[in-house]
Amino acid sequence: MARTLWHNTMSLDGYVAGPNGDMDWMKAYVGPNERVTEVLPQIGAILIGARTYYGIRANPEQARPYGGAINVPCFVLTHADPNTAASGFTFLSREMQAVVDSAAALAGDRYVAVLGQQAGQAVMEAGLLDEILIHLVPALLGQGVRMFASDSPVRELTLKRCRRSAKVIDLWYTCEHHKPASGGVTS
């Protein structure tokens, strides 16, 4: 059964993009990473947000998530016309459970990698996020797009692995979702 994995690079002060969605700051940290090499064959489908999709498509050198290093089904959370999706991408605007189920059906027993802040936050808010892999980089952006919103049903993270490479610290967590208290009341 597929599991969801929010896979992201984050600055030390909690940002995944700089002001106006700028991603240029990440270039200094791109390079060989054991965790990325380890996780790529474990990915069976990818779920991304519209901003991430258009950012990838705007870079002719990339054109696919992970620079095209893997060829798996890619789903985009967007209300855009499904007929305008680039080859290899499927636009979805359904309820989050249905979106995750569509990706999971094609992922099989591998991960549905969730890329981008909006997609990750949406999957987390729906209570459908299983794991988070963060590549923590020694940069302080001071402003931009934060990885985590303060309103989340994930109440606890359990550190699964922590490894340091030359440029980053990789933090891999499992998510514990908030369970409704008896009587159906949540806090």
pTM of the model: 0.88
With vertex at residue 133, the alpha carbon angle to CA 151 and CA 112, rounded to the nearest 5 degrees, is 90
What pLDDT tens digit does each residue of the chain (187 aa) get?
899 999 999 999 999 999 888 888 888 888 788 888 899 999 999 999 988 888 887 776 677 888 888 999 999 999 888 888 888 899 998 899 999 999 999 999 999 999 999 999 999 989 899 999 999 999 999 999 999 876 666 678 899 999 998 789 999 999 986 544 444 333 3
**Torsion, Cα of 7, 10, 13, 19 (10° steps):** -120
Helix (H, G, I), strand (E, B), or coil: what is residue 133? strand
**Distance (Å, rounded) from C-alpha 88 to C-alpha 127?**
27
Every domain of the chain and the residues it spans: 3-177
Q: What is the DSSP letter of 135?
A: E
> Position 89: which residue type?
F
- Please state, as a whole number, how many other Cβ atoms lie within 10 Å of the Cβ of residue 33: 18
What superfamily in CATH does domain 3-177 come from? Dihydrofolate Reductase, subunit A (3.40.430.10)
